[in-house]
Structure 1
Amino acid sequence: MRLARIVGQRLRVDAPTPGFARLLAFQATGAAGDALIALALAGSLFFSVPEADARDRVALYLLLTVAPFAVVAPLLSRTLDRHRGSLRIAAVLTALGRGTFAWWLTTRLDSLLLFPIAFGLLVLSRAVLVIRGAALPDLVPPQMSLVQANASLSKMNALAGMAAVGPGLLLMRSVGPGSEAMFAVLVFFAGALPAALIPSQRGRRSREQRREARGVAYGVELRQALVAIGGMRLLVGFLVFHLAFAVRREDLGSIGLGLLVGAAAFGSLVGALVAPRLRRVLREEGILAASLGIAGLVGIVAGRWFSLPTAVLLVFSFGVAAGAAKVAFDSIVQRETPEGARGWAFARFEARLQLAWVVGAAIPLIVPIPSGPGAAAAGVIANLVGLLYILARRRVHQRRALRDQS
C-alpha cells in the first residue's frame, strides 16, 4: 500500500500537464500488469522443472520475445506514421488486448496454450514501447526536457511494477495460482481509460512526407547510439540468464533470486532518477558512454570476487546503467527523428534491441560459463563498447570540424 501511495505521489509530481499525466497513468497500469504476469509465468517456465527442461523452456521463451517485433514493426509503424490520430486508438486497443489475453491466461497456466497466450501478451507489450516513444515528444510539458520526460516514464514503470509485486504474491498465497493473473486483467483494463484520454492530433501524412522523414531519421548519431545501447542490451540479456542459472547451481533458491530481481528493479529506478541529473553536465551521448564504462568496471570487480553480494552489486549496477542509457537513447531518437518517422524508428530500433537481448540471453543457454569469468567478461565487453562509442563520436566531430574549415 505504501508503494501504491508513492506511485500516486510521483504521478502528481511528474505530470504538470493533463496529457503527460494520462500517458504516465497508461504506462503505470501496463507496468503493473506486466509484473503480475511475470509472477504468473515464473514458476511454470523456470523454477518448477529440472535445469535441462528449464533451458528448453527458456529457449522457447526467447524465441517468443523476439518474434512479436516481426508482427509489430511493419504493421504498427506504418499505421502510426500515416495517421496522426492513431496513437490514442492504438493505446486503447493494446490495453484492452492485454486485459483479454491475461484473462485467458488465468485458467491456462498448465496448458500448451500458455505459450501462444504469452506470445500475444508480448506482442502488445512491445507495441506499447513503440506507442510511448512515438507519442512522448508531443506530450512533453514545456518545462521538461526529453531526458526528464523519458526518465519520468521509466520511474513510473519501475515504481508501478514494484507496487504490484506485493499484492500479487499475497494473492498467490491466499487465493492460489492464477489469482495474480486475474488481478492483472483488472489492471490492464483500467489502463484503457487514461489511454482513451491521451491528446491526439488529426490528419493524415502523405507517402512523400513519411519517406522524407525516414530518410532524415537514420543519421550517423542514431546509428552509433544504436550500437552502444545494443551492446548494453546484449550484456543485460546475458547476465539475466547467466546469473539465473548460477543461482540454480549454487542452490541459492528463491532468496538469491529475489535479491537479484530486487536489485535489478531498484537499479532501473535509480538509473531513471540519475539520468536527468547527469543531463545537466553531459549530453545524451555522454550518458550512454558513462553508463557502459561504470557497468564495465563493476562487472570486472564482481567477476574477480564473485559471490552473492557481488552478484547483487553487479545486477544493481547494470540496472542503473541500462536504465540511464535507455533514457538517453530514447531522447536521442526523439531529438533526431522527425514526427512522421517516429513510429517507424521506434519499431525498428526496439526490434533490434530485443534481438540483441535475445542473442545475449542465448549465450549461457548454449555454453555453460562459470559464474565469475562470465561476469568479468561482461564487464570487459561493456568497457570495449563504451570506448569504441567514444572513439566513433570523436571521429565524427573531427570530420565535421574539417568540413567546416574547408
Structure 2
Amino acid sequence: MSLGEQRDFRLFWTAETVSGFGSYVTTLAIQVLVVVTLHESAAGVGLVNAARFLPYLVLGLVVGVLVDRVRRRPILVATDLGRGLLLVAIPLLAMADQLTLALLVVFMVAFGTLSLLNDSASQSFVPRLVPRPLLTRANARLDQSDAVAQTSGPALAGGLVALLSAPWAVLVDAASFLASALLVARTRVAEPPSRSVDLRSMRQVPTELREGLRWVYRHRTLTPFAIGTHIWFLFNAMAGAALPVFALRQLDLGALGFGLLLALAGVGAVVGSSYAERLGNAFGAGRVSIACIVGNAVAWALVASSPGDSVLTWAVFGAGQLLLGVSMGAENANTMGYRQSVTPDELQGRMNTTMRSINRAMVVVGAPLGGLLADSVGLRPVLYVAAAGFLLVAAGLALTPFRDARIPQETSVANPNDE
C-alpha cells in the first residue's frame, strides 16, 4: 500500500504545501509589522497573536459539530479563497496609511474565523483520503512539506520584508491561498452527503457537541494527551509573544537574520518528520511525543540563553531552532495519526475541533500574558518559564496511559476503554 497511489491525497498534499509556504511568510511579516512598522511592544505582539485564535475559543466547538454535518472539500475551498482576499487588504490599508494595531486585530479575528473552519475540515479530510495504516505516513508527508515551507518561508519573508516592507510581503500568502483552493477543488473524494443544517436540525447541536467532548475527555489515552497539549499551547504562546521582540530588539538580528534563523526550525522539521513513522513504529506514538516535548523544552532554553555576541547569538539561537524543528517534526505526525486512527469518521470534525479550539484558547490567554510578563519582568525570563512548562507537560504525560499509545493497524476503531 503506497501513498503514491492516492491521487487525491497528492493534490491535497500539494495544496497544503503551497498554502503553508505562504503562511510562514505572513507569520514573520505580521510580527515585523507589529514591532517595526507599528512600533508596538511584546504586549502588542501578544494581542495580535491572541486575536487570530480568538474564534477558536468562541466558535470552535460549534464549528466541529457543523463540519461533521457537511462535506469537507467545499469548506476548504471557500475558506482558502476568503483568507486570500483578507490578506490583500493589508498592504492596501498600509499604502493608504490607515493600518493600525486595532484594525490589524480585527483582520486577525476574521482571518482566524476562516482558519478555524479550514483547520477543522482539513484534519478531518485526511482520513477520507487515505486508509488508516497510511495515516502516520500521510501526516509525516504533510509535516515534511510544512517543514520545507518553514525552512524557506521565513528566510524569503525576511528578504521580502527588507525589500518591500512587511505589509506587502503578505501578498505572497494571498496568492498561495488561491492556488490551494484551485488544487483542493480538483480532488475527487466521495464524501457522504451533507446532513441538514436547518433550524430544526440545529436543536441536536448540544447533543452532538457533548458527544465530541465525551470522546476526547473520557478516552483513556486521548484525555491526558489533550490536556497536556492544552498546557503546551499555553507556554508556547507565552514564548511566541516574547520571541520576535527578543530577536529584533534585544539581539538585534534584523528581519532577514530573524527569518534565516527561524528557517533552521524548518530544516530540523524535515529531519524529524522524515523519521516520524520509523520512530512511532519502534517506540509508539506516546513515547515519541513525550521525548519530543522534552526536546521542545531544551530548544527554548537554548533560545533564551542566546548571548549578545553576534557569532554566539546565531549559533545558540540557531541550535535552539534546529532542535525545536526536529522535535516538533517527529512528534506531530505520530500524535496526529494516533488521534485520527482511534476516532470514528463521524466524530473526526468534533474531535479535531474540540482539541484545536481549546489549544487555541490557550493561545488567547497565553499570548497576551506572555507579552505583559515580557514587558514587566523581561524577555529571557518568559522564554525560560516556557521551557520549564514544557518539561512539566512531558513529566505529566509520562505518568499517564498515553505513554503506551500506539496507532492501531486494524481497520476498526478501538473502543476508548480498550486503549
CA change 1:269–1:108 in 2 (3 A) is: farther
- Are the aligned partners of 1:236 and 1:318 in contact in 2 as well (CA < 8 Å)? no
Kept in 2, the 8 Å contact 1:97–1:124? The answer is yes
SS of 1:108's equivalent in the other structure is helix
Matches of 1:258 and 1:395, distance apart in 2: 35
How far 1:180 moved relative to its partner? 3.2
Distance 1:91 1:192 in 2: 7
**How far apart, in 2, do the equivalents of 1:155 and 1:205 lie?**
35
* Contact kept? 1:263, 1:312, Cα under 8 Å: yes
Report the aligned-residue RMSD.
3.4
Q: Which moved more, 1:351-360 or 1:205-214?
A: 205-214
Q: CA 1:249–1:200 in structure 2 vs 1: closer, same or farther (change >3 Å)?
A: same
The Cα offsets for residues 72-127 of structure 1, whole Å up to 9 and x where unpaired, read as 524532222123xx201101101211122122223013424433233322222232
Match of 1:79 in 2: 66
1:129 aligns with 2:119: yes
Structure 1 distance, partners of 2:210, 2:43, is 45
Aligned counterpart, 1:90: 75
- Contact kept, 8 Å, 1:16 with 1:141, in 2: the verdict is no
Q: Is the 8 A contact 1:88 1:195 kept in 2?
A: yes
Please say if residues 303 and 372 of structure 1, whose CA atoms lie closer than 8 Å, have aligned partners that are also in contact. yes
**CA deviation digits over 1:150-186, x for unaligned, max 9?**
1111221232354455666666566666543334333
Contact 2:30-2:167 at 8 Å conserved across structures = no
Q: Is the CA contact (8 Å cut-off) linking 2:84 and 2:173 kept in structure 1?
A: yes
Q: Within 2, Cα distance between the matches of 1:71 and 1:299?
A: 30
Alignment of 1:219-258 (within 5 A): 219-247=219-247, 248-254=249-255, 256-258=257-259
Q: Pairwise mapping of residues 339-350 of structure 1 onto structure 2 (< 5 A)?
A: 339-350=345-356
1:69 CA drift (Å): 1.2
Q: 1:392 to 1:194 in 2, by over 3 A?
A: same
Is residue 20 of structure 2 the alignment partner of residue 31 of structure 1? yes
Say if 2:190 is the partner of 1:190: no
One-letter amino acid of the structure 2 residue matched with residue 318 of structure 1: L
Structure 2 distance, partners of 1:282, 1:122, is 36
What is the distance in 1 between the residues matched to 2:83 and 2:62? 18
Alignment partner of 1:184: what SS?
Answer: helix
Partner SS, residue 174 of structure 2: helix
Does the alignment pair 1:385 with 2:393?
Answer: yes
Deviation at 1:302?
6.5
Task: List aligned pairs for 1:279-290, cutoff 5 A.
Answer: 279-290=280-291
Structure 1 contact 217–338 (Cα < 8 Å) conserved: no
Alignment-derived partner of residue 275 in structure 1:
276
Q: How does 1:40-79 map to 2 (within 5 A)?
A: 40-50=29-39, 53-70=40-57, 72-79=59-66
Cα 1:314–1:232 change in 2 (3 A) is farther
Using the alignment, how far apart are the partners of 1:238 and 1:57 within structure 2? 13
Instruction: Return the letter of the residue paired with 2:53.
Output: V
Q: Using a 3 Å threshold, how does the CA distance of structure 1 residues 361 and 216 change in structure 2: closer, same or farther? A: closer
How much does 1:225 deviate?
Answer: 0.6
2:5 counterpart SS class: coil
Alignment pair present for 1:310 and 2:316: yes
TM-score when scaled to structure 2? 0.78
1:150 and 1:73 mapped to 2: Cα distance? 22
1:102 paired with 2:87, answer yes
Task: Determine the C-alpha separation between the residues in 2 that align with 1:40 and 1:251.
Answer: 16
Contact kept? 1:239, 1:375, Cα under 8 Å: yes
- Tell me, in whole angstroms, the C-alpha distance in 2 between the residues paired with 1:103 and 1:71: 26
Q: Would you say the 8 A contact 1:337–1:345 is kept in 2?
A: yes
* Counterpart for residue 140 of structure 2: 151
2:360 equivalent to 1:357 = no
Code of the residue aligned with 2:386 in structure 1: it is A
Q: What does the per-residue CA deviation read over 1:306-351, in whole Å, with 9 as the maximum and x for residues that have no partner? A: 5623233223323332333332322232122211111111111111
SS at match of 1:202: coil
- 1:293 has 2:299 as partner: no
CA distance in 2, matches of 1:358, 1:271: 28
Give the distance between the partners of 2:169 and 2:36, measured in 1 at CA.
18
C-alpha change, 1:43 and 1:291, in structure 2 (3 Å) is closer
Letter in 2 for 1:261: L
Structure 1 runs not aligned, ≥5 long: 1-12, 398-402
Shift of 1:237: 2.2
TM-score of the superposed pair, with normalisation by structure 1: 0.80
- Structure 1 residues 382 and 97, CA gap change in structure 2 (3 angstroms): same
